[in-house]
């Protein structure tokens, strides 16, 4: 072999090694997380092929069909369609959004009256089929309602939902404000990756910059959440929206110790109005058990907790880990990867850097502030809504679901859960004297 060939080969290897050294070991791309949108689905599709027109015609008119009590009639005569023509993950996510939204409407069309025990096969089979493909449960979850349920309304950047349920502008506001919270988290998600890389390939300067960016991002999430007051009416949320989402009573039920021991899975049973669960016709002869959507299904908070080393109580951890079953598989894998990374908190403690310690503490304190504000939001939309219901201040709206109201208009257990999560977050602040 010519010596020039050897020299060239050695040079190529050195160049490759330099490239590898420059590549960060922890990247968002591996988990299909967008640099621009974070956990949001970038530019979701709004339509499927004409073959799936029966799904779209129903899903895009759910509020009218539910309020006119015609949804079940339409679903019962809907043709049984296969998911084999769905091309790519965006079509699959849209199909899951359509079918899971139709499912919530079908079950709760009459409120707590005349709740069906069976989801018809023409809805159950395709919902379960696409759910298995995506690795999601066959029910409406956070990734449906928020992450994949948005579109640009006009060139000015105003947003709208793709699918809606009863609740009008308040439901739309609830979904889009939650979406804005997710969008505000994007710089924090990128900062999380930067922080892990700064620990894996030690760089205190990079880590300090990442922590500052993370703190700013969490503060922006709180700022975005404040818009909930502008767009969501507490009475409408309490009386009209909550039953279709069923997130709050899920926390109340499952966080309860005795309930956690009794049930190995989340279930429609979380709502006492449907204790037996729901039979998915053609899928199982026994009722299947799943939970409705919840903010605890947002990957953002799980990832930030894992990065900052926030360890919650046994009961809270059990609930939060179960909620991960309702996330897209790549998001669950991301959380596990963050968990498996070297401890950021231990790195900072061993560094002896006052600047890193202060920056870390600011992140933890800002996350606790976000959780405190979330508690105030829940209090307003549960307690104020309940008070209006009791005083007959709901106007044209029907009364709230009695099964939810009877479980405590104060939602005692959900507040215990939220306060516990907030307090354990604060408990991770590093005492400079240690």
CB-facing half-sphere around the CA of 37: CA atoms within 13 A: 15
Task: For residue 34, give the 3-state DSSP assignment.
Answer: strand
Q: What is the pLDDT of residue 18?
A: 44
CATH number of the domain at 89, please.
1.20.58.480
- Binding region for heme b: 374
Nearest to 117 by CA among 290, 291, 286, 266: 286
pLDDT at 409: 29
pLDDT at 406 over 60: no
Contacts of 101 (CB under 8 A, 6+ apart): 59, 62, 140, 144, 163, 165
Range of the domain at 243: 50-427
Q: What's the pLDDT at 58?
A: 98
Q: Tens digits of per-residue pLDDT, 281-301?
A: 999 989 888 888 888 999 999
Neighbours of 276 (CB within 10 A): 13
Residue 68 pLDDT greater than 70, yes or no: yes
Domain assignment present for 42: no
Q: Is residue 31 part of a domain?
A: no
- Which helix (DSSP H) or strand (DSSP E) does residue 280 occupy? strand 279-280
Tens-place pLDDT, residues 202-227: 999 999 999 999 999 999 999 999 99
Domain for residue 33, yes or no?
no
Cα 28 to its chain centre, rounded Å, is: 18
State both tokens at 405. 């109201």
114 within a domain of the structure (yes/no): yes
Neighbours of 118 (CB within 10 A): 12
Rounded Cα distance, 266 and 6, in Å: 62
Q: What is the pLDDT of residues 33-63, one digit of tens each?
A: 999 999 999 999 999 999 999 999 999 999 9
- Summarize the confidence of residues 356-360 as an average pLDDT: 97
pLDDT given at position 259: 41
| DSSP one-letter code for 311 | -
Judged against a pLDDT cut of 50, whether residue 6 lies above it is answered with no
Structural domains of the chain, count: 1
Known binding-site residues equal: 374
Q: What is the pTM of this model?
A: 0.87
d(CA 177, CA 377): 12
Mean pLDDT of 389-395: 59
CA distances 220 to 133, 182, 370, Å, are: 34, 10, 9
Cα distance between residue 271 and residue 254, in whole Å: 11
Say if 18 falls within a structural domain. no
Q: What is the pLDDT, as a whole number, of residue 252?
A: 39
Q: Is residue 324 a part of any domain in this protein?
A: yes
Is residue 5 in a domain?
no
Q: What angle do the packed helices 248-255 and 314-323 form, to 10 degrees?
A: 130
Instruction: Give the angle 238-240-242 at the CA atoms, nearest 5°.
Output: 55
Reported confidence tier of residue 4, pLDDT bands at 50, 70, 90:
very low
The packing angle between helices 204-225 and 186-200, to 10°, is 160
Read off the tokens for 308.
């900052």
Residue 13 is predicted with a pLDDT of 41
- Range of weakest confidence among 76-90, 190-204, 394-408: 394-408
Decide if 422 is inside a domain: yes
Q: Which percentage of the chain shows pLDDT scores above 70?
A: 82
């Amino acid at each position: 072999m010519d010596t020039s060939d050897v020299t060239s080969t050695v040079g190529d290897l050195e160049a490759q090694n330099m490239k590898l050294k420059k590549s960060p070991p922890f990247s968002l791309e591996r988990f299909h997380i967008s640099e621009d949108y974070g956990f949001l689905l970038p530019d979701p599709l709004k339509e499927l092929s004409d073959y799936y027109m029966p799904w779209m015609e129903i899903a895009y008119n759910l509020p009218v069909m539910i309020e006119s009590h015609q949804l079940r009639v339409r679903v019962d005569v809907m043709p049984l369609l296969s998911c084999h023509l769905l091309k790519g993950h965006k079509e699959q996510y849209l199909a899951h959004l359509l079918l899971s939204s139709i499912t919530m409407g079908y079950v709760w069309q009459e409120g707590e009256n005349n709740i069906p025990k069976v989801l018809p096969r023409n809805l159950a089979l395709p919902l379960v089929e696409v759910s298995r493909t995506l690795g999601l449960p066959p029910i409406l979850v956070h990734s449906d309602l928020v992450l994949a349920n948005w579109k640009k309304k006009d060139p000015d950047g105003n947003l709208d939902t793709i699918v809606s349920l009863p609740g009008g502008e308040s439901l739309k506001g609830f979904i889009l404000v939650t979406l804005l919270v997710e969008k505000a988290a994007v710089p924090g998600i990128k900062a999380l990756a930067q922080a892990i890389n700064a620990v894996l390939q030690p760089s205190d300067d990079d880590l300090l910059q990442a922590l500052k960016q993370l703190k700013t991002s969490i503060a922006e999430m709180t700022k975005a959440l404040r818009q909930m007051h502008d767009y969501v009416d507490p009475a409408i949320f309490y009386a009209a929206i909550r039953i279709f989402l069923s997130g709050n009573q899920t926390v109340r039920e499952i966080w309860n110790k005795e309930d956690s021991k009794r049930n190995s899975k989340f279930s429609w049973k979380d709502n006492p109005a449907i204790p037996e669960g729901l039979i998915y016709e053609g899928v199982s002869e026994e009722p299947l058990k799943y939970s409705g959507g919840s903010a605890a299904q947002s990957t953002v908070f799980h990832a930030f907790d894992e990065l900052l080393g926030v360890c919650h109580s046994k009961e809270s951890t059990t609930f939060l880990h179960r909620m991960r079953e309702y996330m897209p598989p790549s998001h669950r894998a991301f959380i596990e990867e963050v968990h498996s990374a070297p401890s950021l908190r231990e790195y900072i403690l061993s560094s002896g850097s006052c600047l890193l310690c202060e920056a870390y503490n600011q992140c933890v304190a800002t996350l606790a502030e976000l959780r405190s504000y979330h508690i105030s939001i829940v209090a307003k939309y549960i307690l104020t809504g309940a008070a209006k219901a009791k005083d007959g201040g709901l106007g044209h709206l029907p009364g709230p679901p009695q099964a939810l109201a009877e479980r405590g208009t104060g939602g005692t257990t959900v507040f215990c859960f939220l306060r516990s999560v907030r307090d354990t977050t604060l408990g991770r602040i590093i005492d400079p004297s240690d």
